[in-house]
Structure 1
Amino acid sequence: MSKYPAKTHARNTLSYYRSLAAAAAAAANATGTSSSSEKPLFALTAPSLTLYPHCDQSQPFRQDRYFNYLTGAHDLPAAAVLYNSAADRLTLYLPPIDADDVMWSGLPLSPTQAQEKYDMDVVKYHADLAADVASTNVLTIDDRNKSVLESLLSSSNVTISPTFKEALEEARLRKDEFELALMRKASAISDVSHRAVMSALPIETNEGHIHAEFVYHSMRQGSKFQSYDPICCSGTDCGTLHYVRNDQEMADKQLVLIDAGAEWQCYASDVTRVFPITGEWTPEALAIYKAVLDMQTQSMEGVKPGVKWDDLHLLSHRILIKHFLELGIFKNTKSPEEILEARTSVGFLPHGLGHLLGMDTHDVAGHPNYEDPDPMFRYLRLRRPLEPGFVVTVEPGIYFNKFLLEPYLKDPKHLEIINTEVLEKYWAVGGVRLEDDVLVTETGFENFTKVTTDPEEVARIVKEGIAKGRSHFHVLA
């Protein structure tokens, strides 16, 4: 595989920087040097290894995503990178060699090795940075970077530039083929791990077993880190969106929901699957699962350049309302459009249809509006038209969370719509969410996620796993 295209990423960032600066200047009717002639110095630093408080053990290292975008050095702590746009030169600066660290951890990467590994024009050490910058002002993105760079330069000629940060985010938003290959790899690892979880019953009797099974199979495939802490819940806990306990027994419950994604060289996957614990769907669980699958299928089919994410989100609510009217959870005393306007469906789908995906699970540049007065859009993390190169998650859900629904069940406006007697049958379902990772292409979309969502296929996988497990235990006995 060729090197991570750091130099191209630096040039992309410069292009967006100049465009954003020109737009800002035009908006302010500014005069002076044209933004197209700006020749800034961009600099970023990687975090250093950090010890736990009162302990000599390091916390797990997580590379800064902005630094990674300009270097591809996903596993390199304490380094710095400088892009000299006037010279079109990208330079990586390695930390000095520490003899004590070498004794415990071995020799670090040498400049020659780094030059071979990374897409850099030059590789040097920290001590060379000051001479390369001289008295020129350096742009960076936040206080941490500013503080580290000023210590390396022994000067204060470092400026935090919101325009530089925004330019990095706009560049990160549109994935190139190298990045897409990393994301496809992460998704393929997650496919195997999700299927392994479905297949591993009956040895998975606790939510913690689900968690362990997914991480085990991800690490077996080379993914040392997860994109985020896996969400492994069962029964009514499936109605908690970002459930964190992952430790409850699963007996006498209907469903398991696992939201987990392996990471590959700082690039994320984010996948959610739901399956029946016994291998048999209850009528209520199957009805809700099919409703969510319909929501996901139709929403995903709408993914293409120019489409507004808001509109696909609205579509998912319209499909939810259609199914709830058919199931009797919503009364037919009002039209689907009246129910949509009442926002009653938000109680059952309180989050957005999905979000941007990249180096961060909830990736940058989505332009959300968490102050939106409309509850249907308040938690929508993507509020801009789709473009080729965007990677998004498509993850509708339906949840029966008593705490979230309590205000709706006390509000006469919503009680005109919700049939509480029918709703009573669905509390035990807890919640269903289906989530795939999707690339926006020039003509439509590509779904990176291959693990099945077909309810019959899911049930078959679970039942086959249960049968194999029982046979195995019988032989051992």
Structure 2
Amino acid sequence: MVEQEIEALKGKKYPAKQHCRNVCSHFTTKKPNAKSAGHYFFVSGEREVLYQYSDQAKPFRQNRYFFYLSGCDIPGAHVIYNCGSDSLTLYLPEIDYDDVMWSGMPLSIDEAYAKFDVDTVKYASELEKDVAALSSNQIFTTDINDSNKAFSHALTAGDPDLFYALDESRLIKDEYEIELMKHASKMTDNCHFAVMSALPIENNEGHIHAEFMYHALRQGSKYQSYDPICCSGPNCSTLHYVKNDDEMAQKRSVLIDAGCEWSLYASDVTRCFPINGEWTKEHLEIYNIVLKMQKATMDMIKPGASWDECHLTAHKVMISEFLKLGIFKSEYTAEDIYDSKVSVRFFPHGLGHLLGMDTHDVGGYANYQDENVLLQYLRLRRPLQKGMVITDEPGVYFSPFLLKDVLETPEKMKFIDKEVLDKYWYIGGVRIEDDLLITDDGFENFTKITSDPAEISKIVKAGLAKGSSGFHNVV
């Protein structure tokens, strides 16, 4: 049981019952009679799925809504919660005795009572009968699938009020969830430090990926929150670059965006560093701009703050600094450039997003059809609240793809000095990303790995000085 390895969670269970109550509470704001009418929530977990024409299973990823209501990461399980009586029942898959010699005995009912915060544990063979007995009540589920289609006639699937209640509940993290995320962040810090320290044995982007994964596995993080982004040089201009296989020779910059997962909870951290430990003039200039963007937005973060305004502030900082560097022409004011929205071609993504069981967690209310291109890809469009966990991840990129039409359009290109711009293409891009818990009057930063450029340089140089021996003992 991985939770017992965290000191603060010893003797505690994942708070599934309280999570169910949270969902019921939000649900009743949309359906006031949910408790008195005895409404039920039903969710099936994911099943183990084999690759086509193979007896090998695909990597298992549990349904996050199911886990939130149950705390159970077992394939083929189900959960039913009675909103009226506050009773929670977990259904385990039947024991496949033919599989026992291959896989061992599964969790027993008695063991499930000891492990999970539920009232009743049964086997899934009783599920159809139990659902039939509830047919006079309304049973809400997320979707109809292979796990529940046998009794789909008794289910109300896809109700937007249920998704609203689930998402609003997951939005605010409780103490248990926070401890899981802190632990994921601690492991991620160690992995990023190991990557920075291991340059002597990293001459391909795949080596960066391997180094991160090695130290994640050593710490017990079998799965990552998302596919690691490990890029160098101009490849750093691709936001979700996952090829991770280019040679690093003759390049100067590295960007790694990677996070460990712990008990289904995510971390999400990005760091950049110079390959030889020495920042070039241009790389450091851009890095310091992104650092200023992050500091300016962090200074605004507290309950009630507008995330839209934080994001737009990051754009304004970048514009001001680009004017100082001469990338934007001084004959135009910062207001002229902001109004033109040309800055979005250098900072195309949102400032950050919610973080939880999903890397881009639920409840953000993104508006990808927003007519304002500066806000179009912002995944969080609501005021900050205590208990949210968010990322703050400004970035500056020099992408031939993003800038192609700007370079070819005089009305857009008039703001940019091409001769100055050309000095920065080799960097690709810089992004700095930390994970923040919104507190009573500000935030707590889960991310401890340094983002100070001088300290990063020292870490990289210390690794180069040691050579390739001993790096697999960093954590």
Q: TM-score, normalised by structure 2?
A: 0.94
Per-residue deviation at 1:470? 6.2
Residue 163 of structure 1 and its aligned partner are, at CA, apart by 1.1
Letter in 1 for 2:18: T
Q: Deviations over 1:203-242 (max 9, x none)?
A: 1000000000001101101111000000000000000000
Structure 2 stretches of 5 or more lacking a match?
1-9
Aligned partner of 1:365 in structure 2 is 363
Match of 2:200 in 1: 202
Matching residue's letter, 1:225? Y
C-alpha distance in 1 between matches for 2:340 and 2:444: 34
Verify the 8 A CA contact 2:327 2:421 in the aligned structure 1: yes
Displacement after TM superposition at 1:162 (Å): 1.9
CA contact (8 A) 1:349 1:396 kept: yes
**Equivalence map 1:60-209=2 (5 Å):** 60-73=59-72, 75-133=73-131, 134=133, 135=135, 136-144=137-145, 147-151=146-150, 154=151, 156-160=153-157, 161-209=159-207
Partner SS state of residue 331, structure 2 = coil
1:58 equivalent in alignment to 2:21: no
Amino acid corresponding to residue 446 of structure 2 in structure 1: F
Q: CA deviation at 1:472?
A: 7.7
Q: 2:29 aligns with which of 12, 15, 19?
A: 19
How does 1:286-435 map onto structure 2 within 5 Å? Answer: 286-435=284-433
- The one-letter code sitting in structure 1 at the alignment partner of 2:154 is N
Q: Is the 8 A contact 2:36 2:84 kept in 1?
A: no
Q: What is the DSSP-based 3-state SS (H/G/I as helix, E as strand, rest coil) of the residue aligned with 1:272? A: strand
2:374 aligned counterpart, secondary structure: coil
- 1:31 matched residue in structure 2: none
Map 1:263-274; keep pairs closer than 5 Å. 263-274=261-272
Secondary structure of the 2:367 match is: coil
Amino acid at match of 2:29: S
CA offset digits 1:287-312 (Å, max 9, x no partner): 00000011011111211111111000
User: After superposition, what is the alpha-carbon deviation per residue over 1:27-57, rounded to whole angstroms, capped at 9, x for unaligned?
Assistant: xxxxxxx456342111111111100111110
Q: Partners in 2 of 1:131 and 1:142 — Cα distance?
A: 20
1:37 equivalent in alignment to 2:47: no
> CA offset at residue 156 of structure 1?
1.5
CA distance in 1, matches of 2:267, 2:182: 8
Matched residue of 1:92: which SS? strand
> Residue deviations 1:247-270, cap 9 Å, x none?
000011010100000000000000
2:455 matched to 1:454? no
Instruction: Check conservation: 1:150, 1:158, Cα contact below 8 A.
Output: no
Q: Tell me the SS of whatever aligns to 1:425.
A: coil
CA distance in 2, matches of 1:392, 1:470: 36
Query: Do the aligned partners of 1:42 and 1:140 also contact (CA within 8 Å) in 2?
Result: yes
* Counterparts of 1:140 and 1:126, CA distance in 2: 16
Distance 1:419 1:38, change over 3 A: farther
**What is the DSSP-based 3-state SS (H/G/I as helix, E as strand, rest coil) of the residue aligned with 1:232?**
strand
CA distance in 2, matches of 1:409, 1:177: 50
Shift of 1:150: 3.7
Which residue identity is paired with 2:56? Answer: Q
CA contact under 8 A between 2:167 and 2:362: conserved in structure 1? yes
Q: Is the 8 A contact 2:346 2:396 kept in 1?
A: yes
Deviation, 1:155, is: 5.9
Shift of 1:143: 2.6
Is the 2:290–2:318 contact (alpha carbons within 8 Å) kept by the matching residues of 1?
yes
**Aligned 8 A contact 2:34 2:84 in 1:** no
| Whole-Å separation in 1 of the counterparts to 2:30 and 2:331 | 51
Q: Give how far 1:116 is off.
A: 0.4
Tell me: CA distance 1:137–1:470, structure 2 relative to 1, closer, same or farther (3 Å). closer
Opposite residue 463 of structure 1, the aligned amino acid is: K
Give the alignment's Cα RMSD to 1 decimal.
Answer: 1.4
